[in-house]
Structure 1
């Protein structure tokens, strides 16, 4: 019994000693690895892993109001090969050559056909050379390739075996693309070239923190002889921005502005379309002339320009005095011969050289954009208390800064006579009343006219409807009221009647459309050159028109501002008004449903359109395609004049011999200029449309270099 007990204790002791020995060995090994061998293992680990890196998030997309994609981030790739891959050097089963040499011919052929920068033989030589050097980072193609191209390249011989075997490496670069090209480019904005810096301007900058998301973390580890990215913390991709922009209205707006600016050879211009009831901006176009004469979006003039608005501001001045009960729309103002002196400074009407308007009503002063009429009415109303005039403008919220979704937006500046930091003179009141000594970005003028169209309620124009992530709205924007009522309802009725009168009877006659009723106000202002004044290095102008349509039931408000037109006599109604009319007609045709009853109202229009004279072959082509009858004989002449009646077009020959001035009345501007300049004359155009008068009589002997003034209508 005792022997058995001793045997058990002995065995237990042996096991216990062994366990202690093993435990001691483990502890010793831990201490050895942790302290004695630590430098060796840390050196090995450093060769197998790299420091954590930032995993970039995908930048969010920008969409139009109808879901059209305006800006997105697409991956592009640089292509490399790691010639150190063991598989490339292995001999294929039952073959004598390494895998690389078995596939190099077919790979070189595929690369040459797809990328096209080198021949098959050139690719083969460069691949073999890199293989012999065991190049760890051989650049296959010097340019970025698209995602779709990358998908095809991965299927090429050798590459279709996978990254580890083929050694194919790729570096991904995110590139911002706009499917509609430069459409609304300055409003949508740009991002910096390296992408990491984010938005550069426009909506891209305003919503940069939401668009770029949150980066994750990945480490680089050596797996199966290759460095691979191992994601530790996945990135959170950027949110999507849904704007208020309408692609079709944006296209119409840009095209209309570009067409007019090209014709005028203007320096800068902008146009904005806003939905009356909501404040949603449907289009923003900003164009600047480049050194080569072409146009591109350089800066967001519609939001940033703090220049003097000119005559479009007259409506606010007259509204203030009407609402204060200091004037009536029927009051008579004596404008005299179009010249009036305020404290030694002469105010001038645009028709002063033709004798002025003399006695007109306050309403007519708006129709005809009479500087003297408006300034005299306002000065007489507020001369004893000019601060009351400015206070009234302030009460309309015309000076209130608004937040827009565009960085760098300007703000209105309307000085006050009691403000010690501003310069107020005896002439400030009359000059402010017609839009000088006032700073007003176009977007603020648009908001004011939109308030008129909107029954007196001023709302903030805005560009972004919502911010969404994975289809869920995380932030939304709605209509924001700035001023419930800019004036009394009776005042508003009178102002709206004046704006309709501008188009039917005043400076905006050329804006009148047979298709949609437009109301608004033109503006023509000299551009200030700061301390140099208005006339230094010649007078330059800014022309503008702001209005809404349809005037009876406003849906959209539009403003167009064009700076420094080089061709023609500066006229807000003819120049900027042409853009507004074009936009209104095209948007009306696309966006506003016309009832059969409304269509019936236009059925009394002539069946035969007015046809301009010109080159016979061109006129014949157009009339034939439109199935319009034409009568008469061109004789031996290439150029004809036309006369339209209710059922046909009459043509007659036009003699354009070089020894006499041709009769270009009835021709379009392009044809008239061609014929006159072809015989050595210079031309000056006044107005728009077809030629109704020429300063040199037809048949007169032309003197080379002589100027012919053509009146167009």
Structure 2
């Protein structure tokens, strides 16, 4: 009996528990249905208040570097600073304190902001902060300008702000700014990005490598946390890759300064200059300048790559090379140029000295020296008049018409027409005029590649601008020397051509290019600019002057081309005008490659024991003086920028004093350092002269407007 009672009790208890479980399960199911269907609108509305739709998290754009690791372009965050005075913590009174947190910290915060930002006094900051606090301002602007990342890091450590965003109410609005530490140096080659950033590269390397530089965006959502909207990253962005170029900052600076100086003196309309390393094809500098309406110069378009105009007399070397290599002429053959005028089928070919009686009988080599249009055209016409296609075929075999890939969007290509091409217009005068660089199209970079082949033992290689692409230090892609033509001509032909190019500088139209410091070989060019169907003389004759060559001529390391269009002052002359730029570049670049100490230099009684030393970056000055075994004295504290004074036995250094956002004193600095300092605070620079800065148009210590131009006088 007892056993049956126990069994009933157990079943009863089990039944009660079972019923309870069923009831709870039913309640849960009911609540799920209630939430999913009946209360769904309420909960969805609440969720929408706590979170927002997913947004794109932009990736940081990659950097662009020079060959030596100098930063050429980078995306740096800049910040606007706000305070949200609605933060509960600001209005709370701390334990054992008698006033709210805001009033506890406002004095020290106002002092820190005044010292760091400098636009208002401590009392002014305090009054504005208290006023915003009383208004419970949700978006109080602390500072009207963007602050840098490094400044932002310091500001986050200020009193009150060091308690964190939620307690302090500090808000940051981030703007990604694309900056070029060296200002406009090489700007057209490096390129620009569109203002909104999302569209990416606009031109130059920025556009050519845009897909790699921009990276891959991530995803984030906006969620309400502790009463404030915060970004919560769901998928992190993949930052862009870094581009390592072949550009050399110092050679780029020399090239731009030399081109600007000559173009300013000539009041020329456009010009470009390119420096290429002979053995590798690495482009060390590209300068492109155009004249603006106010008479100043800036990089407008990449003429060095895009201009497809007629090259003029620099093309004569290719013509003579073709005929020499085909065995149709000799460098010693005599050409009768007469009085400098010669008619081809009723169209007169004219030498530049025809008004002085011409050259009369000269050799083929002298025709190159003196850039005789009549001499070259007669030699080529007599060699190929029965088969003009053979002349063009020879140029093709030299790869002068082959298109090359460059890391610059919009690059042009050579155009050398063929008599058998039905789409080209070939006349009886095409052969003689093509031989002197007319009726052909040749971007300057292609002319440079041809002359570089002469300097490189006959091997033509592709000029290139980018060495490698890397992400987070890992190599993604690398670029090396690419051979276009193993030999543009026979070795014997090359020897004769090189001798002619040296003769141009020693005996011919390039005499002004001759330097006492470095041996230069090359060819000048002076050509009339075509106006298309209007001809060459419509609205007056305009000229393009050029010079292409290499140095040192005995053991070439660099090839240089300079092209200047529409000089307004002086008689158009490739040797005197463009040649002056090439000479300047050659001498300055060559000087930078010399490594000697004062003890190795033979001194005269008049030579100084201590050279004049420019001020600038402390580490760079220290490195140079140490390598030259020169003593330097003075304040050697931890200063980034210094000024120098040389005496008979040592160099005195002192720190450069400069207030935030004021014009620095750049007198005594080199052009590169001066431009870097001035353009880093938002100023534009204009250089006049060469050497170190001796005067600046804006006084040191002044507070300038953004975009204002500073004229630097160099000597």
Give TM class, smaller chain: 0.7 to 0.9
2:71 to 69, 72, 79: 69
In structure 2, what is the Cα distance between the partners aligned to 1:681 and 1:87? 42
From the superposition, tell whether residues 293 and 75 of structure 1 become closer, same or farther in structure 2 (CA, over 3 Å): same
SS at match of 2:232: strand
Find out whether 1:200 has 2:202 as its counterpart: yes
From the superposition, tell whether residues 649 and 332 of structure 1 become closer, same or farther in structure 2 (CA, over 3 Å): farther
2:271–2:290 contact (8 Å) kept in structure 1: yes
1:243–1:463 contact (8 Å) kept in structure 2: yes
107-116 or 423-432, larger mean C-alpha shift: 107-116
SS at match of 1:51: coil
1:691–1:711 contact (8 Å) kept in structure 2: yes
From the superposition, tell whether residues 122 and 606 of structure 1 become closer, same or farther in structure 2 (CA, over 3 Å): closer
1:568–1:686 contact (8 Å) kept in structure 2: no
1:273–1:284 contact (8 Å) kept in structure 2: yes
Structure 1: tracts of 5 or more residues without a match: none
Alignment deviations for residues 300-319 of structure 1 (CA, whole Å, 9 cap, x no partner): 11111111100000001111
In structure 2, what is the Cα distance between the partners aligned to 1:53 and 1:699? 45
Alignment deviations for residues 91-144 of structure 1 (CA, whole Å, 9 cap, x no partner): 233444333334334434443443344454554444344333333222222221
From the superposition, tell whether residues 512 and 604 of structure 1 become closer, same or farther in structure 2 (CA, over 3 Å): farther
In structure 1, what is the Cα distance between the partners aligned to 2:403 and 2:153? 51
From the superposition, tell whether residues 22 and 682 of structure 1 become closer, same or farther in structure 2 (CA, over 3 Å): closer
Equivalent position of 1:550 in the other structure: 552
Equivalent position of 2:107 in the other structure: 105
SS at match of 2:93: coil
Q: How many residues align structurally?
A: 713
In structure 1, what is the Cα distance between the partners aligned to 2:510 and 2:636? 38
Equivalent position of 2:173 in the other structure: 171
1:527–1:540 contact (8 Å) kept in structure 2: yes
337-346 or 379-388, larger mean C-alpha shift: 379-388
1:631–1:648 contact (8 Å) kept in structure 2: yes
Taking structure 1 as the reference length, what is the TM-score of the superposition? 0.83
From the superposition, tell whether residues 249 and 104 of structure 1 become closer, same or farther in structure 2 (CA, over 3 Å): same
From the superposition, tell whether residues 653 and 92 of structure 1 become closer, same or farther in structure 2 (CA, over 3 Å): closer
Equivalent position of 1:158 in the other structure: 160
SS at match of 1:199: coil
2:261–2:688 contact (8 Å) kept in structure 1: no
234-243 or 98-107, larger mean C-alpha shift: 98-107
Pick the structure with greater CA Rg: 1
In structure 1, what is the Cα distance between the partners aligned to 2:15 and 2:66? 83
From the superposition, tell whether residues 705 and 221 of structure 1 become closer, same or farther in structure 2 (CA, over 3 Å): closer
In structure 1, what is the Cα distance between the partners aligned to 2:15 and 2:409? 83
SS at match of 2:425: coil
2:59–2:216 contact (8 Å) kept in structure 1: yes
Q: CA deviation at 1:357?
A: 0.2
1:567–1:685 contact (8 Å) kept in structure 2: no
2:371–2:509 contact (8 Å) kept in structure 1: yes
SS at match of 2:409: coil
Q: CA deviation at 1:34?
A: 1.2
From the superposition, tell whether residues 405 and 111 of structure 1 become closer, same or farther in structure 2 (CA, over 3 Å): same
2:183–2:676 contact (8 Å) kept in structure 1: no
2:183–2:680 contact (8 Å) kept in structure 1: no
From the superposition, tell whether residues 664 and 21 of structure 1 become closer, same or farther in structure 2 (CA, over 3 Å): closer
From the superposition, tell whether residues 690 and 340 of structure 1 become closer, same or farther in structure 2 (CA, over 3 Å): farther
SS at match of 1:601: coil
In structure 1, what is the Cα distance between the partners aligned to 2:613 and 2:271? 31
682-691 or 700-709, larger mean C-alpha shift: 700-709
From the superposition, tell whether residues 564 and 41 of structure 1 become closer, same or farther in structure 2 (CA, over 3 Å): same
Alignment deviations for residues 183-210 of structure 1 (CA, whole Å, 9 cap, x no partner): 1111111112222221111111111111
Q: CA deviation at 1:529?
A: 1.6
Q: CA deviation at 1:628?
A: 23
496-505 or 628-637, larger mean C-alpha shift: 628-637
Structure 1 residues 83-232: aligned runs within 5 Å = 83-232=85-234
From the superposition, tell whether residues 692 and 28 of structure 1 become closer, same or farther in structure 2 (CA, over 3 Å): closer
SS at match of 1:430: helix
653-662 or 509-518, larger mean C-alpha shift: 653-662
662-671 or 547-556, larger mean C-alpha shift: 662-671
1:679–1:702 contact (8 Å) kept in structure 2: no
From the superposition, tell whether residues 158 and 308 of structure 1 become closer, same or farther in structure 2 (CA, over 3 Å): same
Structure 2: tracts of 5 or more residues without a match: none
543-552 or 612-621, larger mean C-alpha shift: 612-621
263-272 or 677-686, larger mean C-alpha shift: 677-686
In structure 2, what is the Cα distance between the partners aligned to 1:572 and 1:340? 23
1:313–1:433 contact (8 Å) kept in structure 2: yes
From the superposition, tell whether residues 290 and 695 of structure 1 become closer, same or farther in structure 2 (CA, over 3 Å): closer
Taking structure 2 as the reference length, what is the TM-score of the superposition? 0.83
2:603 to 601, 604, 611: 601
Q: CA deviation at 1:624?
A: 28
In structure 1, what is the Cα distance between the partners aligned to 2:356 and 2:305? 37
658-667 or 410-419, larger mean C-alpha shift: 658-667
449-458 or 178-187, larger mean C-alpha shift: 178-187
542-551 or 532-541, larger mean C-alpha shift: 532-541
Q: CA deviation at 1:231?
A: 1.2
CA RMSD of aligned residues (A): 12.4
2:182–2:679 contact (8 Å) kept in structure 1: no
In structure 1, what is the Cα distance between the partners aligned to 2:628 and 2:119? 50
1:260–1:579 contact (8 Å) kept in structure 2: yes
From the superposition, tell whether residues 22 and 187 of structure 1 become closer, same or farther in structure 2 (CA, over 3 Å): same
From the superposition, tell whether residues 165 and 409 of structure 1 become closer, same or farther in structure 2 (CA, over 3 Å): same
Alignment deviations for residues 257-304 of structure 1 (CA, whole Å, 9 cap, x no partner): 122122222121111111111100011111112222222211111111
From the superposition, tell whether residues 672 and 460 of structure 1 become closer, same or farther in structure 2 (CA, over 3 Å): closer
From the superposition, tell whether residues 614 and 531 of structure 1 become closer, same or farther in structure 2 (CA, over 3 Å): farther
25-34 or 590-599, larger mean C-alpha shift: 590-599
1:658–1:679 contact (8 Å) kept in structure 2: no
Q: CA deviation at 1:664?
A: 35
Q: CA deviation at 1:438?
A: 1.0
